[in-house]
């Protein structure tokens, strides 16, 4: 398996499926020329089709951390050409991505967002902006199409969202510091998010910082 290094940029934008991601449509055109890695987790298609397509872009990096979601991913991946990250438990099923596959067990046992952040840090990403990370709400309000999830799964997904948010807020920075990782700046572009372990700003401040090289 080839070693994959991230050399294009030291900044990543992570887009996830909270309802607030829809607001990015109003700002995405201001990011068209940004030299960053566009990243997502698990169900990425709706965001790519409805938001990134507005600037003729696609995801550079995707993380899928569980076998069940990996199977869903394979069924919808299409012609994905970027870097696919998964953990060693799903490696056997991931061999079709051999030339662009990254195996990472950093954050394994935590949620996919944490695992992706830790992997990006190991690969020397220094700044991460996260969009759509609400950390609360009903699962049927998520940005991906409702018909991709069975109705009986909604309640379980809602429980998982709330549980993952609580664990992340309580333990993320302790986990990060225990791994002796490099300093990293993580900004949640959602000042109403229940994920409070990261700095929160709104979209207008994000654009101001971006334009000023911050």
Supply the CATH classification number for the domain 11-211. Answer: 3.90.1480
- pTM, rounded to two decimals: 0.84
- Distances from the Cα of 78 to the Cαs of 51, 130, 208, in angstroms? 17, 25, 35
User: pLDDT tens track of the chain, all 214 residues?
Assistant: 456 777 789 999 999 988 889 899 999 999 999 999 999 987 788 888 889 999 999 999 988 776 555 555 555 555 567 788 777 665 555 555 555 666 666 665 678 898 899 889 888 899 999 999 988 765 555 655 544 555 445 445 666 777 888 888 998 998 888 876 788 999 999 998 999 999 999 999 999 998 887 6
Instruction: Domain ranges for the chain, please list them.
Output: 11-211
Note whether 201 and 189 are within 8 A (CB).
yes
Task: For strands 127-131 and 101-103, give the pairing.
Answer: unpaired
């Amino acid at each position: 398996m080839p070693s994959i290094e991230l050399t294009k940029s030291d900044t990543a934008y992570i887009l996830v499926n909270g309802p607030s991601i829809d607001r990015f449509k109003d700002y995405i055109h201001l990011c068209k020329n940004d030299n960053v890695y566009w990243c997502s987790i698990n169900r990425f298609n709706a965001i790519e089709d409805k938001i990134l397509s507005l600037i003729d872009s696609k995801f550079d990096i995707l993380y899928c951390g569980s076998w069940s979601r990996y199977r869903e991913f394979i069924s919808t991946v299409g012609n994905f050409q970027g870097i696919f990250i998964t953990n060693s438990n799903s490696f056997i099923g991931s061999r079709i991505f051999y030339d662009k596959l990254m195996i990472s067990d950093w954050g394994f046992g935590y949620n996919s967002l944490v695992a992706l952040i830790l992997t990006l840090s190991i690969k020397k990403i220094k700044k991460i902006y996260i969009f759509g990370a609400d950390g609360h709400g009903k699962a049927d309000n998520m940005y991906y199409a409702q018909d991709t999830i069975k109705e009986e799964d909604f309640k379980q997904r809602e429980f998982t969202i709330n549980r993952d948010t609580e664990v992340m807020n309580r333990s993320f920075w302790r986990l990060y510091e225990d791994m002796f990782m490099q300093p990293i700046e993580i900004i949640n572009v959602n000042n109403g998010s229940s994920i409070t372990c990261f700095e929160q700003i709104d979209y207008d401040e994000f654009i101001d910082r971006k334009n000023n090289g911050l």
